[in-house]
């Protein structure tokens, strides 16, 4: 499955005064899977010092990175990797939209980076215009978020400014930021849609905030906890402060993180490693299809997000798991994938199929099917390699509705699952059958309840009112046969 996902953030504060750039660098390297369009670092010395660039983060020996080790000497900093799921995706705008974004007014200056997507963009833009922040220099949501924050800071302190963000902004936002006074702060929307956690170095001198816990692991930091929905954390020379800004009435954690986005070795939800959850997904697929062993000789998986579920399916069913599909390791270029043809080329270059499946009836374990183009290509490759029958098993239940919180699936028309039954999907992608994990078992495997997860793209029921309204209007238009506009939720 090939999707643009929506960013990774990392921030560090060192009470010992040491330069934090190396920690940010590694924290983002471990999360580069969350964004290939661009990356950026901002540290604080006397003033903010930034480096922002398109593409993936270069290796440590690259001259740019070597220079940054010398340039970014401050004891506090943040970083960001980005996939553009909001804003415009021409080179010009991608450059302008790189985060962290440094924003200021006559009194305050902040650097911000965030993971998520804002839904009530139109309303926020007019509100900011009304307050005299009417000119926008980027096409990214982060500028709106920063605008609301700066308006709040002009009137009050950081806690109240963050409260202003949480009360006026609808959508997903896991944020890290710096103030000119040298504070590192992090906050998360009151539904906790996107992940954000924090941890501490072994000598208790450094604290880090990260989208995924692997950012802490790579730095040998201890995982402390999630940043709770509606919570603000601040580190400054005076110590650490943790505040509940807005009470979390219900959580709505993105369920897609479990199936696809997060690294398997990250900890999500109530503290389980993702790979264990994915193994359970595979076991569920076997339990839900007890006759699988009659139809299938061998299990294969689409690396890497299908691997753990394939192991679970293999354990539960007793069917051999053949690692016949491998990934071309250095085909990582998912940036600027904007048209169908380009996407298909990338898919085709990404995986390699070995002939061990020749003459076999195979079960293919994959995380999800969104548009169907990836699966179609994979099935074609497997047929060419001689597979006799191909049965597709998806761990993520059928996607029937768009996402408004930062995942690149914006219209009903592009979603194969919104228009077709399993039998029809099998035909369309050229497989012999298609199986989805049931929603009930999926939810149970995550260790969270339905009321703690966002299941909007699976059920059409969204945790925020504007997203629900947009989805209902879009569905009506789609069913009436009208042409949908991509990323319609951003139209101002
Ligand atoms: S709609 Fe789907 S992809 Fe979007 S946040 Fe909710 S669960 Fe995640």
* pLDDT tens for each residue of 60-111: 999 999 998 888 889 999 999 988 765 556 778 888 889 999 999 999 999 9
For the whole model, what pTM was predicted? 0.93
Closest CA to 491 of 220, 294, 477, 3: 477
- Which of the listed residues 171, 254, 367 should we mutate to test ligand 1's pocket, taking the one with most ligand atoms within 8 A of CB? 254
Say which DSSP state 321 is in. Answer: B
Question: Does 262 sit in the ligand 1 pocket, CB within 6 Å?
Answer: no
What spacing in Å lies between the alpha carbon of 466 and ligand 1's midpoint? 14
**What CATH number is given for 8-249 in this structure?**
3.60.20.10
- Report phi then psi at 129, rounded to 5: -60, -45
Helix/strand/coil for 286 = helix
8-249 shares its CATH topology with 278-449+464-490: no
Euclidean distance between CA atoms 207 and 201, whole angstroms: 6
Burial class (CB in 10 A: 0-12, 13-18, 19+), 368: buried
pLDDT for residue 338 is more than 60: no
Which stretch of 170-184, 326-340, 352-366, 410-424 has the lowest confidence by average pLDDT?
326-340
Residue 356: pLDDT band by 50, 70, 90 thresholds?
Answer: confident
**C-alpha to C-alpha distance for 354 and 362, rounded to whole angstroms:** 13
Residue 248 annotated among the catalytic residues of the structure: no
Residue written as token pair 């959850």: 277
Cα 313 to Cα 156, 185, 374, 397, 437: the distances in Å are 55, 42, 22, 16, 11
**pLDDT digits over 370-418, tens only?**
999 889 989 999 999 999 999 999 999 999 999 999 887 878 998 999 9
* Pocket lining: 368 vs ligand 1, CB cutoff 6 Å: no
pLDDT one-digit tens code per residue, 156-187: 999 999 999 999 999 999 999 999 999 999 99
CA–CA separation, 380 and 358 (whole Å): 13
Which CATH architecture does the domain made up of 278-449+464-490 adopt? 3-Layer(aba) Sandwich (3.40)
Pocket test for ligand 1, best of 211, 256, 463 (most atoms within 8 A of CB): 256
Yes or no: say if 378 and 404 are a contact pair by the CB < 8 Å rule: no
- Residue 419 host element (H or E): helix 416-419
Residue 351 CB less than 6 A away from ligand 1? no
Q: Of 7, 165, 254, 454, which is the active-site residue?
A: 7
Q: What is the dihedral of CA 40, 42, 48, 49, to 10 degrees?
A: -70
Give CA–CA dist 175/187, Å, rounded: 5
Query: How is 101-168 classified by DSSP, letter by letter?
Result: EEEE-SS-EEEEEEEEEES-HHHHHHHHHHTT----SSSSHHHHHHHHHHHHHHHS-HHHHHHHHHHH
| Per-domain residue ranges of the chain | 8-249, 278-449+464-490
């Amino acid at each position: 499955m090939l999707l643009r996902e929506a960013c990774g953030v990392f921030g560090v504060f060192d009470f010992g005064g040491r330069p934090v750039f190396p920690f940010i660098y590694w924290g983002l390297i471990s999360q580069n899977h969350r964004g290939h369009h661009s990356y950026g670092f901002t540290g604080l010395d006397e003033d903010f010092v930034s480096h922002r660039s398109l593409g993936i983060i270069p290796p440590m020996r690259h001259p740019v990175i070597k220079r940054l080790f010398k340039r970014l000497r401050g004891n506090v900093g943040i970083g960001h990797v980005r996939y553009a799921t909001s804003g415009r995706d021409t080179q010009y705008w991608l450059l302008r939209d790189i985060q962290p974004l440094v924003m200021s007014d006559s009194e305050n200056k902040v650097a911000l980076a965030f993971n998520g997507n804002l839904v009530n963009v139109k309303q926020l833009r007019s509100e900011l215009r009304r307050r005299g922040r009417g000119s926008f220099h980027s096409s990214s949501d982060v500028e709106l978020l920063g605008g609301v924050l700066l308006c709040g800071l002009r009137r009050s302190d950081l806690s109240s400014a963050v409260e202003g963000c949480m009360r006026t902004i609808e959508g997903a936002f896991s944020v890290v930021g710096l103030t000119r006074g040298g504070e590192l702060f992090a906050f998360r929307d009151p539904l906790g849609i996107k992940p954000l956690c924090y941890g501490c170095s072994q000598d208790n001198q450094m604290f880090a905030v990260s989208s995924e816990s692997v950012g802490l692991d790579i730095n040998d930091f201890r995982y402390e906890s999630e940043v709770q929905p509606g919570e603000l954390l601040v580190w400054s020379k005076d110590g650490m402060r943790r505040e509940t800004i807005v009470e979390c009435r219900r959580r709505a954690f993105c369920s897609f993180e479990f199936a696809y986005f997060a690294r398997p070795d990250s900890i999500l939800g109530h503290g389980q490693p993702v790979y264990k959850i994915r193994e359970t997904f595979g076991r569920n697929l076997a339990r839900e299809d007890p006759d699988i062993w009659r139809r299938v000789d061998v299990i294969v998986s689409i690396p890497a997000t299908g691997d753990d579920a394939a192991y679970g399916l293999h354990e539960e069913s007793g069917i051999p798991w053949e690692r016949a599909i491998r990934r071309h390791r250095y085909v990582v270029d998912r940036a600027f994938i904007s048209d169908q043809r380009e996407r298909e080329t990338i898919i085709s270059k990404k995986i390699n199929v070995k002939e061990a499946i020749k003459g076999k009836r195979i079960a293919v374990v994959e995380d999800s099917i969104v548009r169907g183009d990836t699966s179609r290509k994979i099935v074609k490759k497997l047929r060419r390699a001689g597979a006799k029958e191909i049965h597709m098993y998806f761990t993520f239940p059928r996607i029937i509705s768009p996402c408004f919180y930062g995942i690149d699936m914006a219209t009903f028309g592009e979603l194969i699952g919104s228009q077709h039954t399993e039998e029809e999907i099998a035909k369309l992608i050229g497989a012999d059958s298609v199986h989805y994990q049931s929603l009930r078992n999926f939810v149970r495997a995550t260790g969270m309840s339905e009321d703690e997860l966002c299941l909007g793209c699976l059920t059409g029921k969204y945790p925020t009112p504007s997203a629900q309204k947009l989805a209902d209007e879009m569905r009506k238009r789609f069913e009436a046969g009208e042409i949908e506009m991509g990323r319609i939720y951003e139209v101002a």
